[in-house]
Structure 1
């Protein structure tokens, strides 16, 4: 017959009396996948002079934490992502366009007309250090200084048409 598994616990023993008191254990705080985020790059992007608007930074961070598999795209529609972020699908689309142009988000597959994105492995990565090193070997580093939103607006030509 199989022996029951031995239960391990942390305890404090009173040296004088020999009394054993079991210490309570808290469950591990971070269940599920974990992500490595480059602290310096993340902070640089959070700064006002990065050129990212608050909305763009919020969408980028959402993608950091919405990825649950190593190098996998977030497989959600823009409508679902926009609803979760509390913005319109058009606003999300424009934001993703800016982040993609700066190589902060990478297009990674799709289904029909729906495109899926993930963050650049330079910014955030799920996996071991060896896997991370291999992942960044194929990518150019992202732009760390994005033109300010006011500089990205379309300039009107003399004829009144947008360039």
Structure 2
């Protein structure tokens, strides 16, 4: 008769904090839950990878592959601006409160280039308008494309978010200013 090992299913992620649980494959007696000697408690490991610790973002890989494809309709500047939003946006569904001028200075490009790219990303649903202060609009990342927060927060955030579009929508006729000759 063969001996079967009994494996206990333990959660790999603490759903409350989003922290990964360190999995112990060989078993150990050093981590025990109070009052239950047969159920080990494993230490929580943060997403603090060295040398660049910090928060991590869930990104829709299939969508991103489409956006980064040469036939996506999105330009290199659009992809750079979207990457900037992913890297600099606050947690959850908060907007990035930076002006196009500030973004342009950080990236070393012109503010009107940022404005055009944000317009394309917004038309395609990758960026959503989050708030307006006077004439200034602030955008947030569509949580269907990328999200910085727990899975349950993301599930709530996508309820009112539209689906991003690839290829990028064409410019509306007549939206560009005519050049003076």
Q: TM-score, length-normalised on structure 1? A: 0.70
Which of 32, 41, 62 aligns to 2:84? It is 62
Counterpart of 1:32 in structure 2 is 54
Which of 115, 134, 140 aligns to 2:156? It is 134
Q: Which 5+ residue runs of structure 1 have no aligned equivalent?
A: 1-26, 156-160
Q: TM-score, length-normalised on structure 2? A: 0.64
Aligned residues: 128
1:14-93 matched pairs, under 5 angstroms = 28-29=49-50, 30-93=52-115
3-state DSSP of counterpart to 1:116: strand
Q: CA RMSD in A?
A: 2.1
Higher CA-based Rg: 1
Give the superposition deviation at 1:153. Answer: 8.5
Greater fraction helix? 1
1:53-96 CA-to-partner distances (Å, cap 9, x unmatched) read 11111111111111121111111111101111111111111111
Equivalents in 2 of 1:54, 1:125: separation in Å?
22
Equivalents in 1 of 2:149, 2:95: separation in Å?
15
Task: Give yes or no for contact 1:33–1:68 (8 Å, CA) kept in 2.
Answer: no
Q: Which 5+ residue runs of structure 2 have no aligned equivalent?
A: 1-47
Q: More relative contact order in 1 or in 2 (CA 8 Å, sep 6+)?
A: 1
Cα 1:68–1:113 change in 2 (3 A) is same
